[in-house]
Amino acid sequence: MSEHFLVTGGNRLEGEVLVGGAKNSVLKLMAAALLAEGTTVVTNCPDILDVPLMADVLRGLGCEVELEDSEVRITTPAEPKYHADFDAVKQFRASVCVLGPLVARCRRAVVALPGGDAIGSRPLDMHQSGLRLLGARSEIEHGCVVAEADDLHGANIRLVFPSVGATENILMAAVLARGETVIDNAAREPEIVDLCNMLNEMGAKVSGGGSSTLTIQGVRKLEPTIHRVIGDRIVAATWGVAASMTRGDVRVRGVNHKHLGLVLDKLRTAGAEVTPEVDGFRVIQRERPKAVNFATLPYPGFPTDLQPMAIGLAAVAVGTSMITENVFESRFRFVEEMIRLGADARTDGHHAVIRGVPVLSSAPVWSSDIRAGAGLVLAGLVADGTTEVHDIFHIDRGYPRFVENLRGLGGVIERVGSE
Ligand code: UD1
């Protein structure tokens, strides 16, 4: 049988956990290395599968990439290749973030489109229309997104939705375009700020990172840099929610608590004592959590990536919670698995209503994406008996040392089976 987790519920999580660099930052920072000839070093890289996968994408583009501990060294040639083929990109969607840097550096990019995704359709229309406004032609041809530009120039671009990926691709193309680009309704996620900071260290002229208007003065050339990835707020919050669900006491380190303002407020509403700390935060939950309503929104709203954890919390809370998903259309598919674990949940369109029960009931369940997988493990921690969580390769893509970290907090989890 393929690898799966056995999670035995009932223990209260206690102790300290250190989170690594943010998955949703490191992959973009690695792509940004394409923008400068020479050796760029990214530190505080998380030990997750997506990092070596991204390294392979960059190798396919002619870079030399060395991974050692939490450091990745990327040496970009004077003329990178511009074609990221299907074999390289098929395993993870985030590889599409090489599109912007390739258009900027090579004036041409061919990036194979990865397959579908369990959380809903993820079109690239905003990425393409932004690049078109910068002067590129962009089409989908033979399963690839193709972009070509003789002259990349500044433009005023207003996104119809603050897409993280579109903001990043347009930003990374605009840094080497001629003149000024303004991106309105830009995504404001901390990972975008991290990327703006790294680009500026490389010699780019980007202002407004973290606000909804990014202004970029194009420059002719960027230089390599050494950059430290910000801590992973989604992983950090996963441990925070786990503490609340198990009525535990957990100190999370390695993250900026300001990146989790609303999330920590929600835990307080659930009855947790939440203390911000210099390098993280602490969550203590003494009683059964209280019901809390959540609506996912772009940052600084409640992150869609934490919606499965919110459902887990609601499933064992006192009272009824309403959860609204505003970012990815199919993310509620995972609720079926929660119902299998005894959650009293109903969904209708992008709303879910959950009536908390005192304890869930163990069952075999299947992860459909990284965050759903983590949400199911958290549910297993508050279920009676032993829950089998399958398709855990998803969890390995986003959570470094997941079993070790959870065990360190007193959770009962085992990885069993092999390919
Ligand atoms: C990133 C994160 C993901 C997170 C998401 C929202 C990475 C690797 N992934 O994904 O974990 O859940 O942000 O915070 O960083 N859309 C379009 N057209 C486009 C682009 C997006 O319609 O051209 C839609 C998407 O289908 C989705 C919404 O916009 O419904 C948000 O997507 P976006 O912010 O782009 O998410 P990603 O960058 O793919």
pLDDT digits (tens, 9 = 90+) for 333-382: 889 999 999 999 999 999 999 999 999 999 999 999 999 999 999 999 99
- Specify the pLDDT at position 118: 62
User: What are the C-alpha distances in Å from 149 to residues 8, 55, 109?
Assistant: 55, 26, 9
Q: Which residues contact 252 (CB under 8 A, 6 or more apart)?
A: 16, 17, 19, 236, 239, 240, 280, 281, 282, 283
For residue 119, pLDDT over 60 is answered with: no
CB 267 within 8 Å of CB 296:
no
* Ligand 1 pocket, residue 304 CB under 6 Å: yes
Rg (CA), the chain: 21
Distance 76 CA to ligand 1 centre (A): 27
Nearest Cα residue to atom 4 of ligand 1: 305
Distance 411 CA to ligand 1 centre (A): 32
- Specify the pLDDT at position 85: 77
**Band (90; pLDDT cuts 50, 70, 90):** confident
pLDDT digits (tens, 9 = 90+) for 341-351: 999 999 999 99
For residue 202, pLDDT over 70 is answered with: yes
DSSP-based three-state secondary structure for 320: strand
Rounded Cα gap, residues 344 and 397, in angstroms: 29
Strand order from edge to edge, sheet including 280-284: 14-18, 249-253, 280-284, 273-277
* Ligand 1 pocket, residue 165 CB under 6 Å: yes
- Specify the pLDDT at position 121: 62
Phi, psi at 168, each rounded to 5°: -65, -45
Distance 299 CA to ligand 1 centre (A): 12
Atom of ligand 1 nearest to the CA of 305: 12
Distance 153 CA to ligand 1 centre (A): 25
Mutation choice for ligand 1 from 29, 163, 306, 307, CB with most ligand atoms inside 8 A: 163
117 is catalytic: yes
314 or 120: whose pLDDT is higher?
Answer: 314
* Ligand 1 pocket, residue 161 CB under 6 Å: yes
For residue 329, pLDDT over 90 is answered with: no
pLDDT digits (tens, 9 = 90+) for 128-150: 999 999 999 999 988 889 999 99
pLDDT digits (tens, 9 = 90+) for 1-28: 689 999 999 999 999 999 999 999 999 9
For residue 122, pLDDT over 80 is answered with: no
* Ligand 1 pocket, residue 164 CB under 6 Å: yes
Nearest Cα residue to atom 21 of ligand 1: 163
Nearest Cα residue to atom 30 of ligand 1: 328
Q: How do strand 294-295 and strand 320-324 relate by DSSP bridges?
A: parallel
Q: Report, as an integer, the average pLDDT of 183-188.
A: 98
Atom of ligand 1 nearest to the CA of 93: 8
Rounded Cα gap, residues 131 and 170, in angstroms: 6
pLDDT digits (tens, 9 = 90+) for 317-327: 999 999 999 99
CB 257 within 8 Å of CB 276:
yes
Nearest Cα residue to atom 31 of ligand 1: 163
User: What are the C-alpha distances in Å from 205 to residues 31, 175, 214, 225, 270?
Assistant: 18, 7, 10, 15, 43
Mean pLDDT of the chain: 95
- Could you tell me how far CA 209 lies from the centroid of its own chain? 18
For residue 117, pLDDT over 60 is answered with: no
* Ligand 1 pocket, residue 305 CB under 6 Å: yes
Rounded Cα gap, residues 35 and 218, in angstroms: 13
pLDDT digits (tens, 9 = 90+) for 48-73: 988 999 999 999 999 999 999 999 99
- Specify the pLDDT at position 54: 93
For residue 419, pLDDT over 80 is answered with: no
**Closest by Cα among 324, 360, 315 to 342:** 360
Alpha-carbon torsion angle 381, 382, 386, 388, nearest 10: -60
* Ligand 1 pocket, residue 166 CB under 6 Å: yes
- Specify the pLDDT at position 120: 59
DSSP-based three-state secondary structure for 390: strand
CB 69 within 8 Å of CB 400:
no
Q: Which residues pair with 290 in a beta bridge?
A: 318
Q: Please, is 286 exposed, middle or buried when counting C-beta atoms within 10 Å of its C-beta (0-12, 13-18, 19+)?
A: exposed
Distance 328 CA to ligand 1 centre (A): 8
Q: How do strand 364-366 and strand 386-390 relate by DSSP bridges?
A: parallel
**Band (331; pLDDT cuts 50, 70, 90):** confident
**Closest by Cα among 104, 163, 165 to 135:** 104
pLDDT digits (tens, 9 = 90+) for 231-288: 999 999 999 999 999 999 999 999 999 999 999 999 999 999 999 999 999 999 999 9
- Specify the pLDDT at position 380: 98
- Specify the pLDDT at position 295: 97
- Specify the pLDDT at position 418: 67
- Specify the pLDDT at position 87: 78
- Specify the pLDDT at position 391: 93
Q: Report, as an integer, the average pLDDT of 118-130.
A: 81
* Ligand 1 pocket, residue 52 CB under 6 Å: no
User: What are the C-alpha distances in Å from 251 to residues 221, 280, 292, 387?
Assistant: 43, 8, 22, 26
Rounded Cα gap, residues 67 and 13, in angstroms: 32
Alpha-carbon torsion angle 142, 145, 151, 157, nearest 10: 140
pLDDT digits (tens, 9 = 90+) for 289-306: 999 999 999 999 999 999
SS (H, E, C) 83-133: EECHHHHCCCHHHHHHHHHHHHHHCEEEEECCCCCCCCCCCCHHHHHHHHH
Catalytic option among 47, 85, 117, 344: 117
Mutation choice for ligand 1 from 133, 161, 233, 260, CB with most ligand atoms inside 8 A: 161
The continuous run of DSSP H or E covering 280 comes out as strand 280-284
